Amino acid sequence: MEKLVKALEAAMAEDIKQLPWMSAETKVEARKKLDSIRDKIGYPEKWRDYSKLEVKRDDLLGNADRNLLFEEKRNLAKLGKPVDEREWGMTPPTVNAYYNPPQNDINFPAGILQPPFFDNSMDPAVNFGGIGVVIGHEMTHGFDDQGSKYDLNGNVRVWWTPEDLAKFKERTECTAKEYDGFEVAPGQKLNGHLTLGENTADNGGIRIAYQALMETIAKGGGPGAGFYGGKKDGYTPAQRFFISFGQVWCQNATEQSARVLAKTDPHSSGEWRVEGHGAELRGVRKGFWMQGRAADGCGQRLPHLVARSASDELRRNEGERLRERLERRPWRRFGPLLWVGGEVRSKMAPGLCGGGFAGLPCLTLSRRASVCNIHCRGDA
Protein backbone atom coordinates (compact mmCIF):
# COMPACT_ATOMS: atom_id res chain seq x y z
CA MET A 1 0.00 0.00 0.00
CA GLU A 2 2.84 2.39 0.81
CA LYS A 3 4.38 1.65 -2.58
CA LEU A 4 1.05 2.45 -4.27
CA VAL A 5 0.82 5.79 -2.47
CA LYS A 6 4.39 6.72 -3.42
CA ALA A 7 3.73 5.75 -7.05
CA LEU A 8 0.63 7.96 -7.12
CA GLU A 9 2.48 10.88 -5.53
CA ALA A 10 5.23 10.57 -8.15
CA ALA A 11 2.62 10.48 -10.93
CA MET A 12 0.90 13.60 -9.59
CA ALA A 13 4.22 15.40 -9.32
CA GLU A 14 4.90 14.64 -12.96
CA ASP A 15 1.36 15.66 -13.91
CA ILE A 16 1.78 19.04 -12.21
CA LYS A 17 5.10 19.51 -13.99
CA GLN A 18 3.47 18.87 -17.38
CA LEU A 19 0.39 21.10 -16.95
CA PRO A 20 0.41 23.45 -19.97
CA TRP A 21 -1.84 26.11 -18.46
CA MET A 22 -0.24 26.52 -15.02
CA SER A 23 2.61 28.98 -14.51
CA ALA A 24 5.98 27.95 -13.08
CA GLU A 25 5.30 30.05 -9.98
CA THR A 26 2.09 28.22 -9.10
CA LYS A 27 3.64 24.85 -9.98
CA VAL A 28 6.30 25.42 -7.32
CA GLU A 29 3.62 26.04 -4.68
CA ALA A 30 1.57 23.05 -5.86
CA ARG A 31 4.60 20.78 -5.63
CA LYS A 32 5.36 22.04 -2.12
CA LYS A 33 1.84 21.17 -1.05
CA LEU A 34 2.02 17.73 -2.65
CA ASP A 35 5.34 16.98 -0.97
CA SER A 36 3.89 18.04 2.40
CA ILE A 37 0.90 15.64 2.30
CA ARG A 38 1.02 13.18 5.19
CA ASP A 39 0.05 9.58 4.44
CA LYS A 40 -2.02 7.81 7.08
CA ILE A 41 -2.54 4.15 6.24
CA GLY A 42 -4.38 1.42 8.12
CA TYR A 43 -4.68 2.71 11.67
CA PRO A 44 -3.57 5.66 13.85
CA GLU A 45 -0.22 5.82 15.61
CA LYS A 46 -2.06 6.36 18.88
CA TRP A 47 -5.14 4.24 19.60
CA ARG A 48 -8.22 5.86 21.09
CA ASP A 49 -9.04 4.70 24.61
CA TYR A 50 -12.61 3.41 24.90
CA SER A 51 -12.19 1.85 28.35
CA LYS A 52 -14.52 4.41 29.95
CA LEU A 53 -17.31 3.80 27.43
CA GLU A 54 -19.87 1.35 28.81
CA VAL A 55 -21.47 -0.88 26.18
CA LYS A 56 -24.33 -3.26 27.04
CA ARG A 57 -25.64 -5.97 24.73
CA ASP A 58 -29.28 -5.42 25.79
CA ASP A 59 -29.36 -1.60 25.80
CA LEU A 60 -29.18 -0.16 22.28
CA LEU A 61 -30.57 3.29 23.11
CA GLY A 62 -28.49 3.49 26.25
CA ASN A 63 -25.38 2.63 24.26
CA ALA A 64 -26.17 5.42 21.81
CA ASP A 65 -26.66 7.94 24.61
CA ARG A 66 -23.48 6.91 26.41
CA ASN A 67 -21.53 7.09 23.16
CA LEU A 68 -22.72 10.64 22.49
CA LEU A 69 -21.70 11.67 26.00
CA PHE A 70 -18.33 9.94 25.61
CA GLU A 71 -17.62 11.78 22.34
CA GLU A 72 -18.72 15.12 23.81
CA LYS A 73 -16.34 14.76 26.75
CA ARG A 74 -13.52 13.59 24.48
CA ASN A 75 -13.89 16.63 22.22
CA LEU A 76 -14.23 19.10 25.11
CA ALA A 77 -11.00 17.73 26.58
CA LYS A 78 -9.16 19.01 23.49
CA LEU A 79 -9.88 22.67 24.33
CA GLY A 80 -6.75 24.70 24.96
CA LYS A 81 -4.45 21.93 23.75
CA PRO A 82 -2.36 21.70 20.56
CA VAL A 83 -4.02 19.95 17.59
CA ASP A 84 -3.19 16.26 17.56
CA GLU A 85 -2.18 15.73 13.95
CA ARG A 86 -2.00 11.98 14.52
CA GLU A 87 -5.73 11.74 15.24
CA TRP A 88 -7.99 10.11 12.66
CA GLY A 89 -11.50 11.14 11.68
CA MET A 90 -12.48 7.52 10.95
CA THR A 91 -12.08 4.26 12.83
CA PRO A 92 -9.78 1.56 11.34
CA PRO A 93 -12.64 -0.79 10.28
CA THR A 94 -14.32 1.93 8.19
CA VAL A 95 -14.58 1.19 4.46
CA ASN A 96 -13.83 4.71 3.29
CA ALA A 97 -11.03 7.23 2.83
CA TYR A 98 -10.67 10.99 3.13
CA TYR A 99 -8.48 14.05 2.65
CA ASN A 100 -8.26 16.56 5.50
CA PRO A 101 -7.49 20.11 4.18
CA PRO A 102 -6.50 21.76 7.51
CA GLN A 103 -3.98 18.99 8.17
CA ASN A 104 -3.10 18.30 4.52
CA ASP A 105 -3.21 14.52 4.96
CA ILE A 106 -4.74 11.53 3.18
CA ASN A 107 -6.27 8.76 5.26
CA PHE A 108 -6.95 5.13 4.31
CA PRO A 109 -8.42 3.01 7.13
CA ALA A 110 -7.74 -0.73 7.17
CA GLY A 111 -11.37 -1.36 6.26
CA ILE A 112 -10.89 -0.18 2.66
CA LEU A 113 -7.69 -2.17 2.19
CA GLN A 114 -9.56 -5.28 1.03
CA PRO A 115 -11.29 -6.41 -2.18
CA PRO A 116 -12.61 -5.00 -4.38
CA PHE A 117 -10.41 -2.00 -3.57
CA PHE A 118 -7.17 -3.78 -2.68
CA ASP A 119 -5.82 -7.32 -2.83
CA ASN A 120 -2.09 -7.82 -2.36
CA SER A 121 -2.25 -11.10 -4.28
CA MET A 122 -3.53 -9.43 -7.47
CA ASP A 123 -1.53 -7.84 -10.26
CA PRO A 124 -0.76 -4.09 -10.17
CA ALA A 125 -3.44 -3.21 -12.76
CA VAL A 126 -6.23 -4.43 -10.48
CA ASN A 127 -4.95 -2.59 -7.43
CA PHE A 128 -4.19 0.63 -9.29
CA GLY A 129 -7.71 0.52 -10.77
CA GLY A 130 -9.20 0.01 -7.30
CA ILE A 131 -7.41 1.55 -4.33
CA GLY A 132 -5.03 3.39 -6.66
CA VAL A 133 -7.84 5.51 -8.02
CA VAL A 134 -9.05 6.11 -4.44
CA ILE A 135 -5.55 7.28 -3.46
CA GLY A 136 -5.43 9.59 -6.46
CA HIS A 137 -8.94 10.81 -5.65
CA GLU A 138 -7.99 11.85 -2.11
CA MET A 139 -4.76 13.47 -3.27
CA THR A 140 -6.64 15.45 -5.92
CA HIS A 141 -9.00 16.75 -3.21
CA GLY A 142 -6.06 18.85 -2.06
CA PHE A 143 -6.26 20.70 -5.37
CA ASP A 144 -10.01 20.72 -6.14
CA ASP A 145 -12.35 23.72 -5.89
CA GLN A 146 -12.26 23.59 -2.07
CA GLY A 147 -8.93 21.95 -1.22
CA SER A 148 -7.09 24.41 -3.44
CA LYS A 149 -8.00 27.18 -0.99
CA TYR A 150 -5.61 25.67 1.60
CA ASP A 151 -1.82 25.85 1.48
CA LEU A 152 0.73 23.19 2.41
CA ASN A 153 0.31 23.96 6.12
CA GLY A 154 -3.48 23.71 6.05
CA ASN A 155 -4.03 27.45 6.25
CA VAL A 156 -6.59 29.19 4.07
CA ARG A 157 -4.37 31.17 1.72
CA VAL A 158 -4.40 32.02 -1.99
CA TRP A 159 -1.21 30.42 -3.31
CA TRP A 160 -2.17 30.68 -6.98
CA THR A 161 -1.28 33.55 -9.27
CA PRO A 162 -4.43 35.51 -10.26
CA GLU A 163 -4.05 34.33 -13.86
CA ASP A 164 -3.74 30.66 -12.91
CA LEU A 165 -6.66 30.90 -10.52
CA ALA A 166 -8.83 32.28 -13.32
CA LYS A 167 -7.76 29.46 -15.63
CA PHE A 168 -8.47 26.92 -12.89
CA LYS A 169 -11.97 28.29 -12.31
CA GLU A 170 -12.63 28.23 -16.04
CA ARG A 171 -11.77 24.54 -16.14
CA THR A 172 -13.80 23.63 -13.07
CA GLU A 173 -16.79 25.46 -14.53
CA CYS A 174 -16.40 23.35 -17.65
CA THR A 175 -16.52 20.20 -15.52
CA ALA A 176 -19.58 21.42 -13.62
CA LYS A 177 -21.48 22.16 -16.83
CA GLU A 178 -20.72 18.76 -18.27
CA TYR A 179 -21.92 16.87 -15.20
CA ASP A 180 -25.07 19.01 -15.27
CA GLY A 181 -25.97 17.03 -18.38
CA PHE A 182 -25.64 13.53 -16.87
CA GLU A 183 -29.01 11.91 -16.15
CA VAL A 184 -29.53 9.57 -13.18
CA ALA A 185 -33.27 9.07 -13.63
CA PRO A 186 -35.81 10.14 -16.27
CA GLY A 187 -35.77 13.94 -16.23
CA GLN A 188 -33.38 14.10 -13.23
CA LYS A 189 -29.81 15.19 -13.88
CA LEU A 190 -26.82 15.65 -11.62
CA ASN A 191 -25.97 19.04 -10.11
CA GLY A 192 -22.53 19.75 -11.52
CA HIS A 193 -21.66 22.40 -8.93
CA LEU A 194 -22.85 20.32 -5.97
CA THR A 195 -20.68 17.42 -7.13
CA LEU A 196 -17.80 19.51 -8.48
CA GLY A 197 -15.23 18.66 -5.80
CA GLU A 198 -15.88 14.93 -5.98
CA ASN A 199 -15.99 14.92 -9.78
CA THR A 200 -12.68 16.78 -9.91
CA ALA A 201 -11.17 14.23 -7.54
CA ASP A 202 -12.61 11.33 -9.57
CA ASN A 203 -11.16 12.65 -12.81
CA GLY A 204 -7.79 13.49 -11.32
CA GLY A 205 -7.65 10.23 -9.40
CA ILE A 206 -8.15 7.93 -12.37
CA ARG A 207 -5.77 9.97 -14.52
CA ILE A 208 -2.80 9.79 -12.18
CA ALA A 209 -3.59 6.21 -11.11
CA TYR A 210 -3.34 5.09 -14.72
CA GLN A 211 -0.14 7.07 -15.20
CA ALA A 212 1.30 5.46 -12.06
CA LEU A 213 0.34 1.99 -13.32
CA MET A 214 2.06 2.51 -16.67
CA GLU A 215 5.19 3.83 -14.94
CA THR A 216 5.18 0.91 -12.49
CA ILE A 217 4.90 -1.62 -15.32
CA ALA A 218 7.69 0.11 -17.26
CA LYS A 219 10.06 0.21 -14.28
CA GLY A 220 9.12 -3.24 -13.00
CA GLY A 221 9.75 -4.97 -16.30
CA GLY A 222 6.20 -6.15 -16.88
CA PRO A 223 2.58 -6.24 -15.68
CA GLY A 224 3.11 -9.03 -13.13
CA ALA A 225 2.74 -12.78 -12.88
CA GLY A 226 0.15 -14.70 -14.85
CA PHE A 227 0.26 -12.65 -18.06
CA TYR A 228 0.64 -14.54 -21.31
CA GLY A 229 0.77 -12.75 -24.62
CA GLY A 230 0.20 -9.47 -22.79
CA LYS A 231 -3.06 -10.68 -21.20
CA LYS A 232 -4.32 -12.29 -18.03
CA ASP A 233 -7.75 -13.94 -17.96
CA GLY A 234 -8.14 -12.56 -21.47
CA TYR A 235 -7.54 -8.91 -20.54
CA THR A 236 -4.62 -6.50 -20.95
CA PRO A 237 -3.33 -4.48 -17.98
CA ALA A 238 -5.23 -1.43 -19.24
CA GLN A 239 -8.48 -3.39 -19.45
CA ARG A 240 -7.97 -4.94 -16.02
CA PHE A 241 -7.34 -1.46 -14.62
CA PHE A 242 -10.65 -0.11 -15.92
CA ILE A 243 -12.67 -3.21 -15.08
CA SER A 244 -11.34 -3.07 -11.52
CA PHE A 245 -12.25 0.61 -11.40
CA GLY A 246 -15.76 -0.07 -12.68
CA GLN A 247 -16.30 -2.88 -10.21
CA VAL A 248 -15.65 -0.58 -7.26
CA TRP A 249 -18.73 1.45 -8.10
CA CYS A 250 -21.23 -1.40 -8.49
CA GLN A 251 -24.45 -0.31 -6.84
CA ASN A 252 -28.18 -0.75 -6.72
CA ALA A 253 -30.50 2.23 -6.21
CA THR A 254 -34.20 2.82 -6.65
CA GLU A 255 -35.29 5.63 -8.92
CA GLN A 256 -36.59 7.56 -5.92
CA SER A 257 -33.27 7.24 -4.11
CA ALA A 258 -31.35 8.29 -7.22
CA ARG A 259 -33.48 11.44 -7.48
CA VAL A 260 -32.91 12.38 -3.84
CA LEU A 261 -29.17 11.77 -4.02
CA ALA A 262 -28.87 13.83 -7.20
CA LYS A 263 -30.15 16.81 -5.19
CA THR A 264 -28.31 16.21 -1.92
CA ASP A 265 -25.19 14.06 -2.40
CA PRO A 266 -21.89 15.79 -3.29
CA HIS A 267 -20.87 12.56 -5.03
CA SER A 268 -22.11 11.60 -8.49
CA SER A 269 -23.91 8.30 -8.88
CA GLY A 270 -21.79 5.17 -9.37
CA GLU A 271 -22.65 5.08 -13.06
CA TRP A 272 -21.31 8.57 -13.71
CA ARG A 273 -18.34 8.15 -11.40
CA VAL A 274 -17.29 5.51 -13.91
CA GLU A 275 -18.47 6.95 -17.20
CA GLY A 276 -17.99 10.63 -16.49
CA HIS A 277 -14.22 10.81 -16.34
CA GLY A 278 -12.10 12.90 -18.67
CA ALA A 279 -10.91 12.33 -22.21
CA GLU A 280 -7.25 12.47 -21.28
CA LEU A 281 -7.46 8.69 -21.31
CA ARG A 282 -8.98 8.41 -24.76
CA GLY A 283 -5.93 6.51 -26.02
CA VAL A 284 -6.65 3.76 -23.53
CA ARG A 285 -10.08 3.21 -25.05
CA LYS A 286 -8.36 1.82 -28.14
CA GLY A 287 -7.47 -1.20 -26.02
CA PHE A 288 -11.15 -2.03 -25.61
CA TRP A 289 -13.49 -3.53 -28.15
CA MET A 290 -14.88 -0.22 -29.34
CA GLN A 291 -13.75 3.36 -29.04
CA GLY A 292 -15.76 5.97 -27.21
CA ARG A 293 -17.97 8.50 -28.91
CA ALA A 294 -16.76 11.88 -30.09
CA ALA A 295 -15.82 14.54 -27.57
CA ASP A 296 -18.64 16.61 -26.15
CA GLY A 297 -19.27 19.01 -23.27
CA CYS A 298 -16.35 21.46 -23.34
CA GLY A 299 -14.64 19.42 -26.02
CA GLN A 300 -12.11 18.05 -23.51
CA ARG A 301 -13.74 14.83 -22.37
CA LEU A 302 -15.06 11.50 -23.55
CA PRO A 303 -17.45 10.16 -20.92
CA HIS A 304 -17.79 6.64 -22.28
CA LEU A 305 -15.12 3.97 -22.45
CA VAL A 306 -17.23 2.02 -24.90
CA ALA A 307 -19.95 3.56 -27.03
CA ARG A 308 -23.45 2.81 -25.79
CA SER A 309 -24.40 2.15 -29.37
CA ALA A 310 -22.29 -1.04 -29.36
CA SER A 311 -23.98 -3.74 -31.37
CA ASP A 312 -26.03 -6.50 -29.76
CA GLU A 313 -23.64 -9.00 -31.31
CA LEU A 314 -20.66 -7.38 -29.58
CA ARG A 315 -22.38 -7.42 -26.20
CA ARG A 316 -23.50 -10.99 -26.69
CA ASN A 317 -20.03 -12.22 -27.68
CA GLU A 318 -18.25 -10.46 -24.82
CA GLY A 319 -20.89 -11.54 -22.32
CA GLU A 320 -20.59 -15.14 -23.46
CA ARG A 321 -16.81 -15.08 -23.01
CA LEU A 322 -17.21 -13.63 -19.51
CA ARG A 323 -19.76 -16.32 -18.64
CA GLU A 324 -17.42 -19.08 -19.85
CA ARG A 325 -14.55 -17.74 -17.76
CA LEU A 326 -16.72 -17.51 -14.68
CA GLU A 327 -17.96 -21.08 -15.05
CA ARG A 328 -14.38 -22.34 -15.13
CA ARG A 329 -13.51 -20.71 -11.82
CA PRO A 330 -14.32 -22.11 -8.33
CA TRP A 331 -16.62 -19.45 -6.88
CA ARG A 332 -17.39 -21.50 -3.78
CA ARG A 333 -17.63 -18.41 -1.63
CA PHE A 334 -20.55 -17.04 -3.60
CA GLY A 335 -22.36 -20.24 -4.55
CA PRO A 336 -23.70 -21.40 -7.93
CA LEU A 337 -23.84 -18.94 -10.78
CA LEU A 338 -26.84 -18.16 -12.90
CA TRP A 339 -26.77 -16.91 -16.47
CA VAL A 340 -30.10 -15.13 -16.79
CA GLY A 341 -31.07 -12.72 -19.56
CA GLY A 342 -27.47 -12.04 -20.50
CA GLU A 343 -26.41 -11.41 -16.90
CA VAL A 344 -24.22 -13.40 -14.55
CA ARG A 345 -25.80 -13.77 -11.12
CA SER A 346 -25.22 -15.61 -7.87
CA LYS A 347 -27.93 -17.60 -6.12
CA MET A 348 -26.37 -17.06 -2.73
CA ALA A 349 -25.31 -13.43 -3.08
CA PRO A 350 -27.42 -11.57 -5.66
CA GLY A 351 -26.14 -8.09 -6.24
CA LEU A 352 -23.01 -8.66 -4.17
CA CYS A 353 -20.00 -6.53 -5.06
CA GLY A 354 -16.57 -7.11 -3.64
CA GLY A 355 -14.15 -9.91 -2.99
CA GLY A 356 -11.88 -9.95 -5.98
CA PHE A 357 -11.69 -8.97 -9.61
CA ALA A 358 -13.74 -8.89 -12.79
CA GLY A 359 -15.05 -12.39 -12.30
CA LEU A 360 -17.44 -11.74 -9.45
CA PRO A 361 -20.92 -13.20 -9.72
CA CYS A 362 -22.53 -9.75 -9.66
CA LEU A 363 -20.84 -8.63 -12.87
CA THR A 364 -23.02 -7.95 -15.85
CA LEU A 365 -22.58 -6.49 -19.30
CA SER A 366 -25.84 -4.62 -19.62
CA ARG A 367 -27.33 -2.88 -22.64
CA ARG A 368 -26.84 0.55 -21.14
CA ALA A 369 -23.40 0.03 -19.63
CA SER A 370 -19.92 0.22 -21.02
CA VAL A 371 -17.64 -2.76 -20.52
CA CYS A 372 -16.06 -0.95 -17.59
CA ASN A 373 -19.27 0.29 -16.01
CA ILE A 374 -20.31 -3.06 -14.65
CA HIS A 375 -23.52 -3.11 -12.66
CA CYS A 376 -24.75 -5.43 -9.94
CA ARG A 377 -28.13 -7.05 -10.45
CA GLY A 378 -30.18 -8.81 -7.81
CA ASP A 379 -32.17 -11.92 -8.69
CA ALA A 380 -35.61 -11.05 -10.05
Catalytic residues: 138, 202
Secondary structure letter of residue 281 according to DSSP: G
Contact 356, 333 (CB under 8 A): no
Contact 177, 189 (CB under 8 A): no
**Facing residues of 40 across strands?**
107
Contact 240, 358 (CB under 8 A): yes
**How far apart are the C-alpha atoms of 118 and 158, rounded to whole Å?**
36
**How far apart are the C-alpha atoms of 48 and 372, rounded to whole Å?**
40
**Could you give the count of Cα atoms lying within 13 Å of 18 in the half-sphere of its Cβ?**
8
Question: Is the peptide bond prior to 162 cis by the omega test (within 30 degrees of 0)?
Answer: no
Contact 22, 16 (CB under 8 A): yes
**How far apart are the C-alpha atoms of 372 and 379, rounded to whole Å?**
21
Closest CA to 119 of 127, 111, 110, 109: 127
Q: Dihedral of the CA atoms 145, 303, 295, 126 (nearest 10)?
A: 100
